[in-house]
Homo-oligomer: A and B are copies of this chain.
Amino acid sequence: MPAFKLTPRLVTVGGAQLGPIQRAEKREAVVERLIALLREGHRKGCRIVVFPELALTTFFPRWFMPDWKEVETFFEREMPNKAVQPLFDEAKRLKIGFYLGYAELTADGHHFNTAILVDDTGKIVGKYRKVHLPGHSENEPERPFQHLEKRYFEPGDLGFPVWRSMGGIMGMCICNDRRWPETYRVMGLQGVELLMLGYNTPAINAWAMVHSAPEPEHLRQFHNHVVMQAGAYQNSTWVVAVAKAGIEEDCSLIGGSCIIAPTGEMVALARGVDDELIVADCDLALCKYGKDTIFNFDKHRRIEHYGLISSQTGVIEPPM
């Protein structure tokens, strides 16, 4: 990493990868695992710990459930609630902030794939709702497993805000959002310095299994990392990406949780696919180098040529 003569702004961050959560596992048991990782983070000096997407339950969009009552057993009506309160209490006691992904059911009946940022005083300072929902909305029984995020969730309605908290400018996104350069850029335009995200990524592309040919598994991890390394570099931000991993109900989830520097270099990487904490001393001052030079947006961006990005959703090919 290039040196840049600035006062360091060190934030030690932990990425709390989770091994599988089986369908029968109770929230209380999961919260115990989260607390164990939080305590490990405390021993290792973390000020922030990042948990995965939908960290309180199994990844339920893999099943078609015709009964919404059943679907909603995977949602949280309040945050914190009784099952999760011990995590909030322990984090506050340890003075550790955290990112937590969960399925949110609002008082007026909306369903979102949500993440919150809790600061090191125990206050919920930010909420993000997943914008880029992958998958499909109807049951496709020919698939080995479903990916029904487009059925069970509405697209996030909060945009990509950032928050000043715990010494830096914090951003959040969730899973598939990381594949979209727009995600990083909208936060980059707000000066993001530490972008946190959780993910649940199957090792197998179920669509391809049926409709095409098996997608080589090594590409799944390559794609996971390459988009985040580019996004970090192109916006000169830290990225902390945390997986739910391992064999969850016959579905293999990739691990590969990592912490990426503003240069795009990976400085920490999970070694396995089980509960595991990765840690890095994220110097937020390092973001300034890229933001002031090659990615000085004010000097170099040419928005007069970017109009299509925000005015046109799909592809319009040139005429034949």
Residues of chain A having any CB pair with chain B under 8 Å:
1-5, 131-134, 155-156, 159-160, 162-164, 169, 176, 179-182, 184-186, 188-191, 205, 207-208, 212-216, 219, 222-223, 226-227, 229-231, 233-234, 263-265, 289, 291, 293-303, 305-320
A179 to B312, CA, bound (A): 22
Docked-complex contact A313 and B294, CB < 8 angstroms: no
Residues of B within 8 A of A179 (CB): 234, 294-295
Residues of B within 8 A of A191 (CB): 315-318
User: A309's contact among B219, B291, B306, B316, by CB below 8 Å, is which?
Assistant: B306
Contact among B5, B162, B305 with A212 in the assembled complex (CB-CB below 8 Å): B5
Show 28 residue pairs from A and B whose CB-CB distance is below 8 angstroms, ordered by the A residue: A5-B212, A134-B294, A134-B300, A156-B302, A156-B305, A160-B305, A164-B318, A169-B318, A179-B295, A181-B182, A182-B305, A186-B305, A186-B309, A188-B315, A189-B308, A190-B308, A191-B318, A223-B233, A223-B263, A226-B226, A226-B264, A227-B233, A227-B234, A230-B230, A230-B231, A298-B313, A306-B309, A309-B309
How many copies of this chain does one complex carry? 2
| Closest 5 pairs (CB-CB, A-B) | A298-B314, A230-B230, A181-B181, A3-B213, A191-B317
Q: When A180-B234, A223-B264 are in contact, do A297 and B314 touch as well, CB less than 8 Å?
A: yes
Q: Which residues of the partner chain B approach A229 to less than 8 Å between Cβ atoms? A: 226, 230
Q: Nearest B residue to A301 by beta-carbon distance? A: B313
A190-B318 contact in complex given A159-B305, A227-B230, A234-B181, C-beta closer than 8 Å: yes
Bound complex: CA A216 to CA B2 (Å): 6
List, in ascending order, chain B residues with CB within 8 A of A3's CB.
212-213
Interface centre among A2, A299, A315 (most CB of B within 10 A): A315
16 further A-B pairs in the complex, CB-CB below 8 A; given A2-B208, A156-B302, A298-B313: A2-B219, A5-B212, A159-B305, A186-B306, A190-B318, A205-B293, A208-B289, A208-B293, A219-B263, A222-B264, A223-B263, A226-B229, A226-B264, A291-B315, A298-B314, A310-B310
Using CB atoms, name the residue of chain B closest to A214.
Answer: B2
Most B CB within 10 A of own CB, among A181, A212, A229, A294: A181
Across-interface contacts of A180 in B (CB, < 8 A): 234, 300-301
A214: which B residues are within 8 A, CB to CB? 2
Q: Which residues of B contact A186 (CB under 8 A)?
A: 305-306, 308-309
A313 to B317, Cβ gap below 8 A? no
